[in-house]
Structure formats: structure tokens, C-alpha cells
């Protein structure tokens, strides 16, 4: 296999494993304050489960599970189908997930009861629930920015319809795609600054320490630690020790840092603790999604060297 393609696949696996590892690591400190985390753990740095959901070590939550729903919807037919995505979300909700956000639940119920595939704009929809699950769309559309934008917003609007959520989805996905193709931290920082230029609410260089499910605070936490640390491990530890929506900040930070640093940068102890069924499915899905992306369907692409 060409070197470039192998490198992209490894970063794609890093991104999806990053979602799952960040989710499993952060679930322990979800809804805790940094002070509570300090007094209980010193620094929280191991996948030990527990938390308010009383999870088994390595168990993931809605962040990873909804990402897998989108991956399955795409891989089942080898194409994007919004209704297939909604059906996967519905099947997941019927399976009584360990956790489900209120905005997500409302969106899936509106699909069930009215067949609604786009929730109307709502000032209260600026949660992080559409961002945390968007990785499969970013992998599957690599190489076609217009298609990416269309699909990432469509998946978001199944449950969340808010300009700040949309903007965060687009930026996170573009950062992941750039990292897959070899962009460094400085290039990603420029993309984050573009987001702030368009939506100043996302300013992250005077980080407040708040890490809630409000997409602005989620993104500020992720971006702050992404750009003030130098490894996957350091970034994730920083994020989850802020507590609050720690599993989701962990999942999003893991997604970007996994694409940036690659699967080999994920601590072996974390991968070993991750639910093996999830580990296998995200690893296989990441590669399958990216192999079907426009980037690899264009003749000559993927055979090029990156540099």
C-alpha cells in the first residue's frame, strides 16, 4: 500500500479510537468540578469507569455510540442516507442507552412521531451533541469539502439546529480532515482562529475553565488544551480534568488529537482498557469510511507522497 494512504488510514483510526478513549476516560469525571476531581484522584489519568453513570471500566457512552450509528448508516449501503442515519439513532434510543441528551432525545422522537429529518432552528440547541458524533461524516467525505459541509450540517440538524453548533461541526470536521492529510498543530490553530473570527463567542485564548455541554464552552476547552499541550495523552488529561461535560470534551479532543498525533500516540494502557467490542468496531469503521472517501476515488490520489 502507498505510504500516504497508510498514514491517512492510521490517523483515521487514531481519530475514531480517540473519540472512544476520550469518552471512556472522561465519563469518570463528568459533572464533577476540577476541585472535586483533584481531591478524589489528584490527576485523573486512568480509564477506571465509575462516574455518575456507574460505568464498567472502558465502557463508552452516547458520544461514541452515536458516532457508531452514523458509521453503520453510511457503511450499510456505502452511501449517505439521512433517513438511514435517523433509523440508526432510533434503534439506538430504543436499545435504552446508558445516557442520552435531552436535545438528542427530542430530535429522535420527532423523527419517530412525525418523520421529521430536520429539527427547526432553536435558540436552545447550542449543545455539543451534534459535534461529538460527526467524525464518520468527516472521514467519509475526505476530499470533497462541499459534500462534507452538506452532510455534517444534515446530520447535525436531525437533533440540533443552531448556527454555533453548525459552525463547531464544520470546524472540527475540517480540522480532522486537515490533520488526516498531514496538517500540523499550527495549521489547525489557524483554522480555530478562523472560527473565532466568524463567531467571536468561541474565543479560547483567555480560557475561562468552564467545560459544559454548551458548544461554545465545549469547544473552548478542547481548543485550549489542544493548543497548550504537545501529545495526545497530555491533551486528553487536561480536558477530562476540567470535569463538567468531560466525556464529550474528551471525545471531541480525542477525535482531533487522534487525527493529529495518530493511533500510535494513544497510550497503550487506555486502548487495553477500552471495551474490546468498541475498539474493534471503531477501528474497522474508521478505515472503511475513509477508503470510500472522494479523496481516494480520484485517480492518482492516495498514491502521492504527502510532502
- Which residues bind to Mn ion, rule: CB under 5 A? 61-63, 245, 247-248
Contact 74, 67 (CB under 8 A): no
Q: How many CA atoms lie within 13 A of 10 on its CB side?
A: 15
Comparing CB distances to Mn ion, the nearer of 142 and 274 is 274
The single-letter DSSP state of residue 212 is -
Nearest-approach distance from CB 80 to Mn ion, in angstroms: 24
Nearest-approach distance from CB 127 to Mn ion, in angstroms: 9
Q: In angstroms, rounded to a whole number, what is the distance separating the alpha carbons of residues 90 and 187?
A: 37
Comparing CB distances to Mn ion, the nearer of 8 and 19 is 19
Q: In angstroms, rounded to a whole number, what is the distance separating the alpha carbons of residues 174 and 230?
A: 20
Helices (H), the chain: 3-26, 34-41, 62-77, 82-94, 102-114, 135-140, 145-157, 163-180, 185-198, 215-228, 232-240, 246-261, 268-273, 276-291, 294-297
Virtual torsion, Cα 226, 229, 234, 236, nearest 10 deg: -10
Alpha-carbon radius of gyration of the chain: 18
Comparing CB distances to Mn ion, the nearer of 64 and 292 is 64
Q: In angstroms, rounded to a whole number, what is the distance separating the alpha carbons of residues 58 and 55?
A: 8
Nearest-approach distance from CB 165 to Mn ion, in angstroms: 14
Nearest-CB residue for Mn ion: 61
Comparing CB distances to Mn ion, the nearer of 49 and 294 is 49
Comparing CB distances to Mn ion, the nearer of 169 and 180 is 169
Nearest-approach distance from CB 15 to Mn ion, in angstroms: 17
Comparing CB distances to Mn ion, the nearer of 55 and 191 is 55
Nearest-approach distance from CB 65 to Mn ion, in angstroms: 8
Comparing CB distances to Mn ion, the nearer of 129 and 258 is 129
Contact 25, 236 (CB under 8 A): yes
Spatial CB neighbours of 36, under 8 Å, sequence gap ≥ 6: 243
Nearest-approach distance from CB 29 to Mn ion, in angstroms: 11
The single-letter DSSP state of residue 31 is T
Nearest-approach distance from CB 215 to Mn ion, in angstroms: 12
Comparing CB distances to Mn ion, the nearer of 161 and 248 is 248
Nearest-approach distance from CB 129 to Mn ion, in angstroms: 8
Amino acid at each position: 500500500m502507498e505510504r500516504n494512504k497508510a498514514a491517512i488510514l492510521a490517523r483515521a483510526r487514531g481519530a475514531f479510537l480517540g473519540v472512544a478513549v476520550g469518552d471512556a476516560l472522561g465519563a469518570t469525571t463528568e459533572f464533577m468540578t476540577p476541585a472535586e476531581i483533584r481531591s478524589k484522584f489528584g490527576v485523573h489519568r486512568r480509564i477506571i469507569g465509575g462516574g455518575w453513570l456507574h460505568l464498567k471500566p472502558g465502557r463508552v457512552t452516547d458520544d461514541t455510540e452515536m458516532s457508531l450509528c452514523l458509521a453503520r448508516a453510511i457503511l450499510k449501503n456505502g452511501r449517505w442516507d439521512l433517513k438511514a442515519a435517523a433509523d440508526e439513532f432510533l434503534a439506538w434510543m430504543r436499545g435504552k442507552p446508558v445516557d442520552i441528551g435531552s436535545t438528542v432525545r427530542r430530535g429522535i422522537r420527532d423523527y419517530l412521531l412525525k418523520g421529521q429529518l430536520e429539527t427547526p432552528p432553536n435558540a436552545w440547541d447550542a449543545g455539543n451533541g451534534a459535534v461529538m458524533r460527526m467524525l464518520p461524516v468527516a472521514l467519509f467525505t475526505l476530499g470533497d469539502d462541499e459534500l462534507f459541509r452538506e452532510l455534517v450540517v444534515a446530520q447535525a440538524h436531525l437533533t440540533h439546529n443552531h448556527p454555533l453548533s453548525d459552525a463547531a461541526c464544520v470546524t472540527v470536521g475540517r480540522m480532522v480532515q486537515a490533520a488526516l492529510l498531514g496538517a500540523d498543530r499550527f495549521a489547525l490553530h489557524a483554522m480555530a482562529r478562523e472560527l473565532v473570527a466568524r463567531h467571536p463567542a468561541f474565543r479560547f485564548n483567555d480560557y475561562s475553565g468552564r467545560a459544559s455541554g454548551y458548544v461554545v464552552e465545549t469547544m473552548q476547552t478542547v481548543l485550549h488544551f489542544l493548543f497548550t499541550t504537545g501529545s495526545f495523552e497530555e491533551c486528553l488529561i487536561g480536558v477530562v480534568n476540567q470535569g463538567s461535560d468531560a466525556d464529550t470534551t474528551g471525545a471531541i479532543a480525542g477525535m482531533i488529537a487522534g487525527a493529529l498525533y495518530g493511533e500510535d500516540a494513544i497510550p497503550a494502557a487506555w486502548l487495553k482498557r477500552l471495551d474490546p467490542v468498541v475498539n474493534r468496531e471503531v477501528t474497522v469503521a474508521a478505515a472503511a469510511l475513509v477508503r470510500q472517501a472522494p479523496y481516494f476515488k480520484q485517480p492518482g490520489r492516495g498514491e502521492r507522497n504527502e510532502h
